[in-house]
Structure 1
Amino acid sequence: MWLGPNKIVVVAAILGNQTDHLALLKFKESISTDPFKTLESWNSSIHFCKWHGIKCSPMNERVIGLNLEGYQLHGSLSPHVGNLTFLINLNLRNNSFYREIPQELGQLIQLQQLYLTNNSFEGKIPTNLTYCSNLKDLYLDGNLLIGKIPVGIGSLKKLQRMTVWKNKLTGGIPSFIGNLSCLTGFSAGSNNLDGDIPQEICHLQNLTILFLGENYFSGMIPSCLYNISSLVEISLTLNNFHGTLLPNMFNTLPNLQAFVIGQNQISGLIPTSIINASFVLKFFDISNNNFVGQVPTLGRLRDLLFLNLEGNNLGHNSTKDLEFLKSLTNCSKLQAVSIFNNSFGGILPNSIGNLSTELEELYLGDNMISGKIPAELGHLIGLILLTMEYNYFEGIIPPTFGKLQNIQKFAFGQNKLSGDIPLFIGNLSQLYHLDLYRNIFDGNIPPSIGNCQKLQFLDLSHNKLRGTLPLEVFNLFSLTNRLDLSHNSLSGSLPREVGMLKHIDWLDVSENHLTGDIPETIGECISLEHLNLQGNYFDGTIPSSFASLKDLRYLDLSRNQLSGSIPDVMQNISALEHLNVSFNMLEGEVPTNGVFADATQVAMTGNNKLCGGISQMHLPPCPITRRKHTKHHKFRLIAVIVSVVSILLIISFIIFMYCMRKRNQKRSFDTPTIDQLAKISYQELHQGTNGFSPTNLIGSGSFGSVYKANLVSDDHVVAVKVLNLKKKGAHKSFIVECNALRHIRHRNLVKIITCCSSTDYKGQEFKALVFNYMKNGSLEQWLHPEIVNEEHPTTLGLGQRLNVIIDVADALHYLHQECEQLVLHCDLKPNNVLLDDDMVAHVSDFGIARLVLAIGGSSQKDNSTIGIKGTVGYAPPEYGMGSKVSTCGDMYSFGILVLEMLTGRRPTDEVFEDGQNLHNFVAISFPDNLMKILDPRLVSRDVEVAMQDENRENLIPTIEECLVSLFRIGIICSMESPKERMNIADVTGELSKIKKAFFNGVHAHS
């Protein structure tokens, strides 16, 4: 039956309406979450053209618009949307759609706007979108799309705006982009795109916006890009572009408002054409590149809002570097300026106070600017942030800064500012960050800081502040980031109010003069991660409340006067990664769980009464405590009587042994116990040294000379130490050395082969000792060679020096703790450390050593010694004041030896005068300026090699950590007070860790 033309049209419209209705219902079915009940109106009670977000054509009631932006809809995009064939605008921005964008969208041939921004669409960009020939706007940014930009997009001749920003796209920009002649905006930033920008992009003569930042693009910026006069915004940040900018580029970009190319590798000068650039430029960002030279005048940029020059090599550290700042006074709309991290020098001009009062952020840090801070800066009342750190500013903080009522961040660290911390700080109510680190501020911390109730970060460390800690600081509940008052001269106690800082992350009051107990209330700082209290005079016990600090990762209590035991509950702090309780007066058993289960995470040096712990800590075992019985009184009485009798017997035995030793003392002087040593004749030694020829002389010391000899009898090359018996004490030296070496055997001690006690050819008394010959001579020759051969330098690398230090320490450990009789070397120095064929170190010259025989709880020193107590520079200061020799004295000599090996300077160097010495020379620069004190030959041999290594980012920290650890050992061992020095057991334990870290690190990257 023929319906006629009018009825056919009606039927088609009805069928089309049914298709759209069904497609919309399928769309609704795919939505799993509708938090705002946006789709509740999508029901049969009203026509679908009146549903929320739907727009229909008035002519045929077909859906032409679907707009559900920002309703937080969660679900997939139904492919039935492709049946809305009259659809012109599809806007689903700012929702939570996921899965792939359906290919069926390619059926929407009328579609002009597709907005899918800020969802979670996955998969590739649908290739069928290329059938949407009327498409003008394609917004796919803010999703999880992968793959390449489809080639077919080049067929969308009407496309005007395309943004795929913030996805996971790969590949490059396809050359077909040059076919999109209508394109005005292209944004592909924040992807994984790479390669060069194709030259075809320059065909887009209508392009106004080009955003390609945060990708992996490389090559040079196409110069033809600067001929697109329509460009308004160019953003190429965070890529790998290199090359230079054309000097005249700004002459051909009259509409440019934003030029942003930060964090690339672009070099050369700032284009001089910027001087004549139009007024419309608002954003100029060339930060973190390699630009050099002076900054041109920028005064014509009247609309400039944001100027970022940081992270380049601009300036020449000259007085003219900052002249361009004067021209910025014409930029009346300026809001932010950064010249941070360049080479600007000279004095900050007073005209900086004439910058726009709208200026909110000013970054001047990390340059070489000197002089006083201009008071005129206080006129910039709009400032929110002002950073001037790492410069050479001096004088006071101007009082005019009190006018900066909007200021939120002050950063003046690492300058030469002095005077008091200004009281007006307390009037800056918006302040959240105050950094005055490393200046010369003195006086008290003003209590007015307590008025800064928004303060989150306070660093006053490394100044000369004195007085007590104001309670007002601990009432700043806002302090959540850092409170650092370290390295000052603050005194008094740490107030119990410290517990009010419940959310502080970092608390450091180290290196002051604080006294008293560590308050238990510190356990209330429940967010604490770093706590540094070292270098004070805290006494009492370690608070058990530390166990409440569940987030604590770093705790340093070293160099105080803490006593008692380490609380067991500290092993329950699961986050703790580093604990240092060195140099206190702690005692008792060390826990074994938590942080205590890893010896590399705990430092306990200088607490001689600690015991137990895991075996890797090398602590003595704890004494066994006898169980106490409360009922059997008789057994207790018997035990007491037995103990008293035992003590009396021991005392009687000690007195008896002491009397016997006094009676035999003279005989011990005169009768060297060298019977066990084989003898060699004078004739053999005379022949082996070619008559003690000067050509065979290899060294000389306090009591004789050392010759190289070839013993014909067994074809053995040896070293012969011939005593100069005319020298006072030489005879005793011979006896002492024989006795000492007879008792000791260790791989790092020189081995005595035989001796000679005879007369020479003139009938005069002759005494000599024969040792193994050390091919590589003494450590002295390696540290201070008399002739420097530049082609073949005879120096030791860091690894070799570390091995030598360990060898010497192992020898001392044997002498001090493993011999039957304690041996004190008394003359440790580079001349007395010999190196064999394999560069293994051997300690020698025991001519003034002392043997100590332990009896019960006391000790008796072998009196077969002489008056000299070591060598100037290496002998500890207490020996010069008449103190008895001790293991602490040997440790001092060892510490000086370590510092000499690291610095290349003798302790008697000419530079050490007016009370200066090697220990102080190192301590002043430790640990921040090691390069100033490090042996230059070490720098060239090890550090430069590391710099050339492809793994240098991991290798250099290994070297630095090793040096810091070794310097630390040298400094502590050479402390003036014997009580503060490390003992040899702690030293060998530390060296074992250093060796493991260093050689594992080096081998891992070799």
Structure 2
Amino acid sequence: MIVFASGSETDHLALLKFRESISTDPYRIFLSWNTSTHFCNWKGITCNPMLQRVTKLNLEGCKLKGFISPHVGNLSYLRNFNLQNNSFYGEIPQELGRLSQLQQLSVVNNSLVGKIPINLTGCTNLKFLYLYGNNLIGKIPTEIGSLQKLQDVDIGRNQLSGGIPSFIGNFSSLTDLYVAENNLEGDIPQEICRLKRLTIVALDFNKLSGTFPSCLFNMSSLTVISATGNQFNGSLPPNMFHTLPNLLVLYIYDNQISGQIPFSITNASILLELDIGDNHLVGQVPSLGKLQDLYILSLSQNNLGDNSTNDFEFLKSLKNCSKLEVLSISYNNFGGHLPNFLGNLSTQLSQLYLGGNQISGEIPAAIGNLIGLTLLGIENNQIDGIIPTTFGKFQKMQVLEVSANKLSGEIGEIVAFICNLSQLFHLGMTENMFEGNIPPSIGNCQNLQYLNLSQNNFKGTIPPEVFNLSSLTNLLDLSQNSLSGSIPKEVGNLKHLDWLDISENHLFGDIPITIGGCIMLEYLYLQGNYLQGIIPSSLASLKVLRRLDLSQNRLSGSIPNVLQNISSLQYFNISFNMLDGEVPTEGVFQNASDLVVIGNNKLCGGIFELHLPPCPVKGKKLAKHHRFKLMIATIVSVVAFLLILSIILTIYWMRNRSKKSSLDSPIIDKLAKVSYQSLHNETDGFSTANLIGFGNFSSVYKGSLEDKIIAIKVLNLQRKGAHKSFISECNALKNIKHRNLVQILTCCSSTDYKGQEFKALIFEYMRNGSLEEWLHPRTVSAEHSRTLNLDQRLNIMIDVSSALHYLHHECEQSVIHCDLKPSNVLLDDDMIAHVSDFGIARLISAIDGTSSQQTSTIGIKGTIGYAPPEYGMGYEVSMDGDIYSFGILMLEMLTGRRPTDEIFEDGETLHNFVKKSYSDILLQILDPSLIPKHEEATIEEENGQNITPTIEKCLVSLFNIGLACSIESPKERMNMVNATSELNKIRKVFLSGKLFKTASVAENVVYETVQRSNSTFYIPHFLNL
């Protein structure tokens, strides 16, 4: 029994009370908090070695759930209290105010509520106050104005109200102030200018208004001013960049700032990032040539320029900005021609936004020198001429937007070099004067997700190759051209497309029934053509269709009743055709405002609001004739039924005689078989000592065969569906071979010693177990716990994606795994991952894309948390389902959280948890085992970053892929080809140590919080279109 001094006993009891307040401890941290060990040796505890008193309580990232015990207030020597990145709830105890020696309080990223405790005034030595990412309410209490030693305050992302208090001027030692993402309003108090050491001020996304205090621009210590998304007005002082000599970052995007850009910016030589977009700035842009370290410049959505030939003079000076990566001057009033010296800008330039101005003339060929471009937007101008062939040099281009100009040229010539841009996935050419026949070679644009060729002068037929672009997911728009011929039957290949518009052309012929294969379509526009024939019933297969326009064609026949079963349909226009018969009354047909039927003179019935004539009642003679026909049909049907029934019974009797051989032989003939006896002997009678795993339909034993260690998967045939699972796995595995798939060695289909049926599959033995065991080890002791570093996790992600890529796209008969999860990913001696367990896999016909029902386990579609949401709504399994599971697997590998963790309640999911957090608080959602630890770090050192910029960029890119794969809507998910490609790029950068940047793809700007020296401010990121 350990005996404590009186003061130590107080600390001991306080810690025990703190432990009692914890309801969830997934890492079993508190196993070490026992009476056999001195509390100074407990995990998370640091003591003063002389006094044996607690000075530090650090349980950051332990995934704890509970409330903060008020007994913490008895730890009178506590200097550092860190509960960051857990799930603590309730209020912050007032008793913390008794901790007079406390220097750092961090409860970042929890679920705390209530107000900021006024008793914190007792923490007279407090230097670092981090309350970011909770649900705190109320005003900032005036009482904390007495904490004059505060150096860093982060109370962002809460629900605080009121204004920024004037007592902020009392914090004479304050360097970082972060109050972003609250509901603060009013002016910035003048007292802020008394903070002579202030370096970072972040006020983003509040309701602050008024003008910036003039003294703010005289605070020479400031390095970052971030005030995006408020209502600030007034103008910027002309000399502000002289009086802010250390300014690195200025973000005042989305305010109401007016006037001109201060001329003093010409001397802001150390400025790195400038975003003053979405304001009311006017005038010309000054020379920026001295800003040689500038890498982000956004002036978009203002009124800059005066539509003159001098508007682009400032671009000449940017040739000295060799680090410039993002240049956005879109949606201003810039005019004149694009200058040739545009091609002299930095080859590091990745995104160039010029859209929405008054630019005229031709595109200079020299722009092709900007070989680093991933995005070029010149839409909504008055540019004419042709697209230069030098665009073919844009080998990194992902988004090319030239819509709404006066460009011309033959589409065939343009496609010849555009489709060589292998990374291009967005091509917008609408509203121009391009002409010619769309060439079959457009099928070479294999990565296009968005293709808009509408409102041009194209003619000829639509080449089937357009519809073979399986990558198309967002939009295909060929409307308002002069295209002719019929709609190719290949249209049904666009299984992932969201929007299809081929309206206002000269198309004729029937609507192909294959259009029902476009199962993810939400918008379908075929109006304004010469289409004829009936409306195909296959349109009812478009279960997520929202808008359907078939108007102004020559369609005939009746409206298929099955269309009223499309529950998502919100608008249906069939006006001005030649339809007849009764209009249905359910679904979209029951609301006149959603339905347009005018111009079809032979339609009848429907709801009253359509004002159609009633359908005619048949005469008596006709009724009698129908009754006679019905009687004849009934007699024929009964005879046919009896005949078919007798045939079925005969076949069933014949098959039942040889049931066993008919089920097994075709499936396992290709596999060499092993006897039950040999398996029984090699596993010591299937003893529990050799049991290494079990699942829904089977148990897995370790054994040996011909001096080789093997894994034996024994089917539990008493379980319903086990026999089908056996058949499914045999069918899935017999013809596939890949380094990242578990290899089947042989099988056994026999009887055991009791005469009962016995089936088993024999696989290679994976010595390092499953990924599940590495991500969530049963013990976290230093001696036994196994962890994966980032390099290993990245390799495993690539291994799994490669396996799925092979199953989906390279097998003769595509395979859908249906149950991808960590326990089904096995690791060999070299930590190479192998995907296993194909017991509920589906085979997909390479001809028509249909799934083979006889090889699947009926009713089973994966594991909760990993199965995609559409499976729960009855949708057929698909490759998109595997992609969703892979995305969740990636996020679990990065965060260390299962998708079924307790924190994911009330509709919260792992995807949403990461999406709203990863870009702001990467370190806080990252699996703690991936973050380097520095045991001897001081408080100040702990506030620094432990992850290099390169690794952080790689992690953000990995999170992006995981999120893109696990989007709720199947049509929006990243495909496996792109996911595998991107992962390999990340690995290459990770190994080489170079900076990897995921190219941005649109004009829209969002802001991402980044912590630097434990202070957070916003940097702009340009989102995908």
User: TM-score, normalising length from structure 2?
Assistant: 0.59
Trace 1:973-988 onto structure 2 (pairs within 5 A): none
Q: Which residue of 2 aligns with 1:502?
A: 495
Cα distance in 2 for residues equivalent to 1:492 and 1:40: 75
CA deviation after TM superposition for structure 1 residue 406, in Å: 1.3
Cα distance in 1 for residues equivalent to 2:56 and 2:33: 15
Indicate which of 151, 161, 175 corresponds to 1:170: 161
Letter in 2 for 1:268: G
Cα distance in 2 for residues equivalent to 1:60 and 1:620: 96
Decide whether aligned partners of structure 1 residues 93 and 440 sit closer, same or farther in structure 2, where only a CA change above 3 A counts. same
Cα distance in 2 for residues equivalent to 1:541 and 1:63: 81
Residue 27 of structure 1 pairs with residue 18 of structure 2: yes
Letter in 1 for 2:304: L
Indicate which of 327, 344, 356 corresponds to 1:354: 344
Q: Which residue of 1 aligns with 2:599?
A: 606
* Offset from partner CA, 1:401-435 (integer Å, 9 cap, x none): 11211111111110111112332222222222111
CA deviation after TM superposition for structure 1 residue 483, in Å: 1.2
Cα distance in 1 for residues equivalent to 2:544 and 2:560: 18
Paired residues of 1:413 and 1:439 also in contact (CA < 8 A): yes
Cα distance in 2 for residues equivalent to 1:292 and 1:335: 24
Cα distance in 2 for residues equivalent to 1:355 and 1:238: 30
CA deviation after TM superposition for structure 1 residue 36, in Å: 3.5
Residue 305 of structure 1 pairs with residue 305 of structure 2: no
CA deviation after TM superposition for structure 1 residue 133, in Å: 0.8
Letter in 2 for 1:459: N
Decide whether aligned partners of structure 1 residues 298 and 160 sit closer, same or farther in structure 2, where only a CA change above 3 A counts. same
CA deviation after TM superposition for structure 1 residue 590, in Å: 0.4
CA deviation after TM superposition for structure 1 residue 238, in Å: 1.0
Letter in 1 for 2:546: R
Say which SS state the counterpart of residue 473 (structure 1) adopts. helix
Residue 143 of structure 1 pairs with residue 162 of structure 2: no
Q: Which residue of 2 aligns with 1:434?
A: 427
Indicate which of 172, 197, 214 corresponds to 1:206: 197
Say which SS state the counterpart of residue 480 (structure 2) adopts. coil
Cα distance in 2 for residues equivalent to 1:346 and 1:283: 27
Q: Which residue of 2 aligns with 1:345?
A: 335
Q: Which residue of 2 aligns with 1:917?
A: none
Q: Which residue of 2 aligns with 1:69?
A: 60
Indicate which of 569, 572, 592 corresponds to 2:562: 569
Say which SS state the counterpart of residue 318 (structure 1) adopts. coil
Letter in 1 for 2:180: G
Paired residues of 1:13 and 1:60 also in contact (CA < 8 A): no
Cα distance in 2 for residues equivalent to 1:635 and 1:529: 45
Residue 589 of structure 1 pairs with residue 579 of structure 2: no
Cα distance in 2 for residues equivalent to 1:125 and 1:515: 70
* Offset from partner CA, 1:189-210 (integer Å, 9 cap, x none): 1111001111111111111001
Q: Which residue of 2 aligns with 1:276?
A: 267
* Offset from partner CA, 1:266-285 (integer Å, 9 cap, x none): 1111111111223x101111
Residue 420 of structure 1 pairs with residue 410 of structure 2: yes
CA deviation after TM superposition for structure 1 residue 369, in Å: 0.6
CA RMSD of aligned residues (A): 2.1
Letter in 1 for 2:237: L
CA deviation after TM superposition for structure 1 residue 254, in Å: 0.6
Q: Which residue of 1 aligns with 2:384?
A: 394
Q: Which residue of 2 aligns with 1:468?
A: 461
CA deviation after TM superposition for structure 1 residue 144, in Å: 1.1
Say which SS state the counterpart of residue 316 (structure 2) adopts. helix
Decide whether aligned partners of structure 1 residues 633 and 286 sit closer, same or farther in structure 2, where only a CA change above 3 A counts. closer
Decide whether aligned partners of structure 1 residues 541 and 635 sit closer, same or farther in structure 2, where only a CA change above 3 A counts. closer
Larger relative contact order (Cα-Cα within 8 Å, sequence gap ≥ 6): 2
Say which SS state the counterpart of residue 507 (structure 2) adopts. strand
Cα distance in 2 for residues equivalent to 1:629 and 1:511: 43
Q: Which residue of 2 aligns with 1:876?
A: none
Residue 487 of structure 1 pairs with residue 480 of structure 2: yes
Residue 217 of structure 1 pairs with residue 214 of structure 2: no
* Offset from partner CA, 1:731-756 (integer Å, 9 cap, x none): xxxxxxxxxxxxxxxxxxxxxxxxxx
Q: Which residue of 2 aligns with 1:256?
A: 247
Trace 1:168-247 onto structure 2 (pairs within 5 A): 168-247=159-238
Q: Which residue of 2 aligns with 1:537?
A: 530
* Offset from partner CA, 1:351-400 (integer Å, 9 cap, x none): 11111111111110000011111222221121111111000111111111
Say which SS state the counterpart of residue 369 (structure 1) adopts. strand
Q: Which residue of 1 aligns with 2:876?
A: none
Decide whether aligned partners of structure 1 residues 564 and 318 sit closer, same or farther in structure 2, where only a CA change above 3 A counts. same
Letter in 1 for 2:480: H
Letter in 1 for 2:563: M
Q: Once the two structures are aligned, what percentage of the paired residues are identical?
A: 64
CA deviation after TM superposition for structure 1 residue 634, in Å: 13
Cα distance in 1 for residues equivalent to 2:534 and 2:547: 19
Cα distance in 1 for residues equivalent to 2:468 and 2:38: 64
Residue 18 of structure 1 pairs with residue 44 of structure 2: no
Say which SS state the counterpart of residue 392 (structure 2) adopts. helix
Letter in 2 for 1:378: G
Residue 580 of structure 1 pairs with residue 573 of structure 2: yes
Cα distance in 1 for residues equivalent to 2:488 and 2:206: 52
Say which SS state the counterpart of residue 247 (structure 2) adopts. coil
Letter in 1 for 2:345: L
Paired residues of 1:425 and 1:448 also in contact (CA < 8 A): no
Cα distance in 1 for residues equivalent to 2:628 and 2:61: 87
Q: Flag structure 1 segments of 5+ consecutive residues without an equivalent.
A: 1-10, 637-1006
Cα distance in 2 for residues equivalent to 1:98 and 1:456: 43
Say which SS state the counterpart of residue 595 (structure 1) adopts. helix
Say which SS state the counterpart of residue 335 (structure 2) adopts. coil
Say which SS state the counterpart of residue 324 (structure 1) adopts. helix
Say which SS state the counterpart of residue 140 (structure 2) adopts. coil
Q: Which residue of 1 aligns with 2:510?
A: 517
Paired residues of 1:455 and 1:479 also in contact (CA < 8 A): yes
Decide whether aligned partners of structure 1 residues 631 and 599 sit closer, same or farther in structure 2, where only a CA change above 3 A counts. closer
Q: Which residue of 2 aligns with 1:477?
A: 470
Say which SS state the counterpart of residue 265 (structure 1) adopts. coil
Q: Which residue of 2 aligns with 1:403?
A: 393
Paired residues of 1:430 and 1:452 also in contact (CA < 8 A): no
Say which SS state the counterpart of residue 616 (structure 1) adopts. helix
Q: Paired residues, what number?
A: 626
Trace 1:892-903 onto structure 2 (pairs within 5 A): none
CA deviation after TM superposition for structure 1 residue 446, in Å: 3.7
Say which SS state the counterpart of residue 381 (structure 1) adopts. coil
Decide whether aligned partners of structure 1 residues 633 and 351 sit closer, same or farther in structure 2, where only a CA change above 3 A counts. closer
Letter in 2 for 1:193: L
Decide whether aligned partners of structure 1 residues 35 and 147 sit closer, same or farther in structure 2, where only a CA change above 3 A counts. same
Cα distance in 1 for residues equivalent to 2:390 and 2:44: 57
Cα distance in 2 for residues equivalent to 1:618 and 1:432: 47
Trace 1:47-86 onto structure 2 (pairs within 5 A): 47-86=38-77
Indicate which of 541, 544, 550 corresponds to 1:548: 541
Q: Flag structure 2 segments of 5+ consecutive residues without an equivalent.
A: 630-1025
CA deviation after TM superposition for structure 1 residue 127, in Å: 1.0
Residue 625 of structure 1 pairs with residue 618 of structure 2: yes
CA deviation after TM superposition for structure 1 residue 73, in Å: 2.3
Letter in 2 for 1:18: E
Cα distance in 2 for residues equivalent to 1:120 and 1:334: 40
CA deviation after TM superposition for structure 1 residue 635, in Å: 11
Cα distance in 2 for residues equivalent to 1:635 and 1:372: 77
Paired residues of 1:429 and 1:451 also in contact (CA < 8 A): no
Letter in 2 for 1:192: N
Q: Which residue of 1 aligns with 2:305?
A: 315
* Offset from partner CA, 1:47-86 (integer Å, 9 cap, x none): 3322222222211222212222223322222222222221
Paired residues of 1:425 and 1:449 also in contact (CA < 8 A): no
User: TM-score, normalising length from structure 1?
Assistant: 0.60
